[in-house]
Amino acid sequence: MTTTTDTHCPYCSLQCGMRLRTGPEVGAAGAEVLERPGFPVNRGALCGKGRSAPALLARDVRLTGPLLRDRPGGPLRSAGWPEALDRVAEGLAGVRERHGADAVGVFGGGGLTNEKAYQLGKFARVVLRTANIDYNGRFCMSSAAAAHRRAFGLDRGLPFPLEDIPHTDCLILVGANPAETMPPALRYFRELRENGGTLIVVDPRRTRTAAEADLHLQPRPGGDLALALGLLHLVIADGLVDEEFVAARTTGFDRAHAAAMAHWPDRVERLTGVPAARLREAAALFGRAATGMVLTARGPEQQSKGTDTVGAWIDLCLATGKAGRPRSGYGCLTGQGNGQGGREHGQKADQLPGYRSIEDPAARAHVAGVWGVDPETLPGAGRSAYELLDGLGQPGGVRALLLAGSNPVVSAPNAGHVAGRLRALDLLVVADPVLSETARLADVVLPATQWAEEDGTTTNLEGRVILRRRALDPPEGVRSELWVLRELAARLGVVDGFPAEAEPVFDELRRASAGGDADYAGISYRRIAAEDGVFWPCPDTAHPGTPRLFLDRFATPDGRARFAGVTHRPAAEEPDRDYPLYLTTGRVLAQYQSGAQTRRVPELNAAAPGPFVELHPRLAARLAVGEGELVSVTSRRGRAVAPARVTDTIRPDTVFMPFHWPGAGRANTLTNPALDPVSRMPEFKLCAVRVERAEGEAS
Ligand code: SF4
């Protein structure tokens, strides 16, 4: 029988609504995507990734049963679930017994549903009793999250729905390329311009998004902090500060004023490469606009000064009165499918559900009460993602790792080193729908269900909690991570509190989050389905949810937003004589994150079959490199080889590589794991490299 199910795309944070038609006669995978025009975020529009997502369900691209390795270096072989689960439970227990609870680690992902993220955190703290749980979302939005909390007392990616964007007067998009990362969102920016608004894009590359802007500022990588300070300087100098707003709704302006005064236009031009005249143009457009927004993405965030960089852009919003008001504000465009919810419910090293701090005694008592354990038994904060990976197999580090929804062999910074650390583990367990590059290193691989085969919620970039519905059955040998956690918990002596179905987990999550910043207490599956999603905070079932935050007060103790008052500093690694160019990394339209899924979809692979190195014609001429010829890119951490793509859309001092591929062209072989001191975000967005012709080498 053919059925249709309203659900959402498995990929990015837009979480586009889609309708799945399923049945034995529907294509090879038993499912096809139809439009779901009623869902407000994308109104039926989908990008190629969403449209082709059913290809992921085909048996020939995925795992259909557990795999085991009998000895280090030996081959993976098929196994039954009881044998695989026994092996995992015995391995985890053995490491815990020999080396202590913190020698067992958990690594999650920003694509996991809220229920899985919540249950992973609970499993780590209640069953394993380890402090060492973190997730790949640390690599995505943690700097924006830290800056958001510092300024506003609360972190939700967008404090307003996307539908507000067309109605602002001036929008600055910093280090974001929605034309390639989330194409259906582009219409909000186009509508803004059709309404007479101004779009300014800040990006070292003239991306497809930048090509649509009224003004494109093209700083060198790492220049965004100085650029924001330069704009603030000009806003102050031109008398465009909203004195009334600053006095009534903020604190700390004096500090920001002093910092901005040290960043006069000529100095900022030297620091960023952006001509002072363009800077003045942007400052006037934004400063004189009645309403305005600044949206950041990974460009300014994935830096060793990411928290301060985002803080400087927030300061610009605050000084001009463009926050906590209708049609104005700062926001972060989250990346992964559940980039927002994934950081709210306990898979982050320092957090408990509801976006609570694990160091807060009241938060510990509340969550321990929901979990039925003594608060004293809950561990404290563990290591951040890169620090956890860097310590694998080392004295004092994690020796057995349970990993779900992540592929760090491709996606972690300094990925060659991380792969080596994974190989040094006593036990690596990977739960994944496909045999990813990380799963290939595992001792035990557990085949996991996918979005169309299970219920679960995610929280999109707007803070809208939405519901993915089970549309078809998974293959016989595949299980959900919730089922796996239940089975492992039982084998490790905890028989209650780990249901295999999602809705009871969500109902417990609601209670655990009640009273926290990210309060889901009033959100139910029934409401989400009936209301096209519910915005948190939503503290009770009669509450309508909160699409717009901060309109009356900010979430700080005194209700005022806090200026960051930060100053420019260089990146952890600037170009020098040996490594004279910047490398920046990012995504392409047809691939997603580490590519573990999209590289298995034929039409996406045909559109974007492999890595490349984008370089300016002047640089290409200097290196005597032609279009398509192989070049090597070398940093202090390693060397990658890929074909050249010669284009004048990039700065002559910068090369760009997409990061979706393993092997010789793996961009993250090169990237710098230097961490932001507040967010512990690695500096993916820039490092110093040397580029050379790679004659005679295979791609
Ligand atoms: S924009 Fe994102 S959520 Fe929408 S269809 Fe594309 S990948 Fe899926």
Q: What's the whole-number mean pLDDT along residues 552-558? A: 97
pLDDT, tens digit (0-9, with 9 covering 90-100), for 285-303? 999 999 999 999 999 999 9
Q: Is ligand 1 within 6 A of the CB of residue 9?
A: yes
- Best CA proximity match to 54, nearest among 26, 25, 12: 26
Tell me if 189 sits within 8 A of 218, measured CB to CB: no
Q: What's the whole-number mean pLDDT along residues 93-114? A: 97
Report the nearest atom of ligand 1 relative to the CA of 15: 3
Burial (CB count <10 Å: 0-12, 13-18, 19+), residue 574: middle
Q: Is ligand 1 within 6 A of the CB of residue 56?
A: no
pLDDT, tens digit (0-9, with 9 covering 90-100), for 227-250? 999 999 999 999 999 999 999 999
Quick check: 570 pLDDT over 60?
yes
Residue nearest to atom 8 of ligand 1 (CA): 50
Q: Is ligand 1 within 6 A of the CB of residue 124?
A: no
Q: Is ligand 1 within 6 A of the CB of residue 342?
A: no
% of the chain beyond a pLDDT of 70: 99
Quick check: 699 pLDDT over 60?
no
Tell me the CB-side half-sphere exposure of residue 467, using CA atoms within 13 A. 21
Residue 192 φ then ψ, to 5°: -55, -45
Identify the three-state secondary structure at position 480: coil
Tell me if 154 sits within 8 A of 323, measured CB to CB: no
pLDDT, tens digit (0-9, with 9 covering 90-100), for 79-90? 999 999 999 999
Quick check: 310 pLDDT over 90?
yes
> Which residue shows structure tokens 């160091």?
359
Tell me if 270 sits within 8 A of 307, measured CB to CB: no
Q: Is ligand 1 within 6 A of the CB of residue 12?
A: yes
Instruction: Say how many Å lie between the CA of residue 13 and the centre of ligand 1.
Output: 8
Pocket test for ligand 1, best of 7, 11, 464 (most atoms within 8 A of CB): 11
How far, CA to CA in Å, does 300 sit from each of 29, 127, 219, 305, 508?
39, 38, 11, 8, 36
d(CA 241, CA 36): 44
Quick check: 698 pLDDT over 70?
no
Classify 457 in phi/psi space as left (phi over 0), alpha (psi -120 to 50) or beta. Answer: beta
Instruction: Say how many Å lie between the CA of residue 15 and the centre of ligand 1.
Output: 6
Three-class DSSP labels, 412-476:
CCCHHHHHHHHHCCCEEEEEECCCCCCHHHCCEEEEECCHHHCCEEEECCCCEEEEECCCCCCCC
pLDDT value of position 592: 93
Beta strands in 493-612 (DSSP E): 534-535, 561-562, 581-586
Pocket test for ligand 1, best of 182, 189, 458, 460 (most atoms within 8 A of CB): 182
Pocket test for ligand 1, best of 7, 8, 9, 189 (most atoms within 8 A of CB): 9
pTM here?
A: 0.96
